[in-house]
């Protein structure tokens, strides 16, 4: 390992892992990858090795995850990751023009960093703010409705040491500082956390619906939203009342392995029935999808279809049949694959010749 991660990083790694059940520690991989990125600025081979070491995984497993998500960088990044959305909505509103202008101005292309190490530029797919398009983010904080000139102003200010204020959210921090937050640690700096109300572009659809009297049938917008304590209390109450509402009859066999589905009538719910969990293995599920009428029982799959027109053979019968088959096709003593001996081949040939005359014999001669 080329990097020795700091004691603080190691302590934080332990804290992250402790957030998960002991037998589910591999679930800590995503925040751990952000953590190593917060120290090195990207997920280096050493970072991969560190995650593998603390989680008891192998490097291939960690690498497979780290290379899947675009937020984990595979090369050293600048202090500020500038992402310009060039997806459909932003593109028709000028996103590509913003990206092209920045590329030319900074002299870098996608996933490249300026020589001063300040800015890494990337074009991004939808940044989930289409209503504010075209958008760009700096270390995942939004600048809404940008045009080439405002985008240039943002990057120039960043390169000269300033910290421009995003359209929404907290003030900017560096990518390493952001990675600490993404690993699940609060940023204690002043102004690091922001709150706000939905902006007008987000509310535009709602305003139009109100203006035209469009509403969801039966929906009362004044329905109170319960607090967490109230919701917990209601859930506990519903659970306590559950046995009295349980169906008297056993559940239908299609409900799934030991998990009978509760009907909407039984639960008092107006929502559609929820199916019991599907605990079949992925292989079985894939096989059933490909061949829904297959009648092969798979022993490790509760609920798998079983033959409908006959019982499967008893295990003892199956073993005897297997043994008989093996005895009649013993492996060749010379290490060659099992098959007919030379004598058997000659015998078969003579039998064939007796049926077809001499054709088989002459064929065989031509093969020699």
Give the SS3 label for residue 83.
Answer: strand
Residue 129 within binding range of ligand FES, rule CB under 6 A: yes
> What residues form DSSP beta bridges with 121?
82, 112
| Dihedral sign computed on CA atoms, order 57, 58, 61, 64 | positive
Give the one residue of 130, 251, 287, 349 binding ligand FES; rule: CB under 6 A.
130
Q: Distance between CA atoms of 271 and 104, rounded to whole angstroms?
A: 54
Where does residue 12 rank: exposed (0-12), middle (13-18), buried (19+ CB within 10 A)?
Answer: buried
Residue 146 within binding range of ligand FES, rule CB under 6 A: no
Could you tell me the smallest distance in angstroms from the CB atom of residue 216 to ligand FES?
Answer: 25
- x/- mask, ligand FES, residues 54-93, rule CB under 6 A, reads -------------------------------x-xxxx---
The H or E element that residue 49 is part of is helix 45-55
Residue 202 within binding range of ligand FES, rule CB under 6 A: no
Could you tell me the smallest distance in angstroms from the CB atom of residue 93 to ligand FES?
Answer: 8
Residue 172 within binding range of ligand FES, rule CB under 6 A: no
Give the one residue of 41, 78, 133, 166 binding ligand FES; rule: CB under 6 A.
133
Q: What are phi and psi of 234, to 5 degrees?
A: -65, -40
Q: What are the DSSP calls for 255-304, one per residue?
A: G-TT-PPPPHHHHT--SPPPPPP----HHHHHHHHH-TT-----TT-TT-
Residue 166 within binding range of ligand FES, rule CB under 6 A: no
Instruction: Candidates 121-129, 167-175, 226-234, 360-368: pick the segment binding ligand FES (CB under 6 A).
Output: 121-129
Q: Distance between CA atoms of 44 and 37, rounded to whole angstroms?
A: 8
Nearer to ligand FES, 66 or 127 (CB): 127
Number of residues forming the site for ligand FES (CB under 6 A): 12
- The residues of the shown chain that bind ligand FES, judged by CB under 6 A, are 85, 87-90, 126-130, 133, 135
């Amino acid at each position: 390992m080329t990097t020795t991660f700091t004691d603080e990083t190691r302590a934080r790694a332990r804290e992250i892992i402790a957030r998960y059940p002991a037998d589910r520690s591999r679930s800590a991989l995503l925040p751990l990858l952000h953590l190593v990125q917060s120290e090195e600025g990207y997920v280096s081979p050493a970072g991969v090795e560190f995650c593998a070491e603390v989680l008891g995984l192998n490097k291939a497993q960690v690498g497979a995850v780290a290379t899947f998500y675009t937020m984990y960088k595979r090369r050293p990044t600048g202090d500020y990751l500038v992402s310009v959305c060039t997806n459909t909505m932003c593109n028709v509103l000028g996103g590509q023009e913003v990206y092209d202008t920045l590329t030319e101005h900074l002299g870098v292309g996608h996933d490249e960093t300026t020589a001063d190490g300040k800015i890494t530029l990337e074009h991004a797919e939808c940044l989930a703010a289409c209503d504010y398009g075209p958008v760009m983010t700096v270390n995942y904080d939004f600048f809404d409705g940008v045009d080439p000139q405002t985008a240039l102003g943002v990057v120039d200010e960043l390169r000269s040491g300033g910290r421009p204020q995003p359209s929404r959210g907290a003030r900017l921090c560096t990518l390493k500082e952001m990675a600490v937050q993404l690993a699940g640690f609060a940023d204690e700096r002043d102004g690091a956390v922001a709150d706000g109300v939905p902006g007008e572009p987000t509310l535009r659809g709602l305003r139009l619906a109100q203006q035209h009297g469009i509403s969801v049938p039966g929906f009362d917008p004044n329905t109170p939203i319960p607090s967490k304590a109230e919701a917990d209390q209601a859930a506990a109450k519903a659970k306590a009342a559950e046995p009295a509402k349980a169906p008297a009859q056993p559940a239908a066999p299609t409900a799934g392995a030991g998990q009978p589905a509760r009907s909407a009538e039984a639960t008092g719910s107006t929502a559609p029935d929820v199916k019991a969990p599907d605990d079949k293995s992925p292989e079985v599920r894939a096989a059933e999808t490909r061949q829904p009428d297959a009648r092969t029982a798979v022993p490790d799959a509760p609920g798998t279809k079983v033959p409908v027109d006959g019982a499967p053979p008893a295990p003892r019968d199956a073993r005897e049949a297997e043994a008989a088959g093996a005895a009649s096709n013993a492996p060749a003593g010379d290490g060659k694959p099992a098959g007919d001996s030379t004598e058997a081949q000659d015998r078969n040939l003579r039998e064939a010749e007796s049926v077809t005359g001499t054709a088989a014999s002459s064929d065989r001669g031509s093969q020699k």
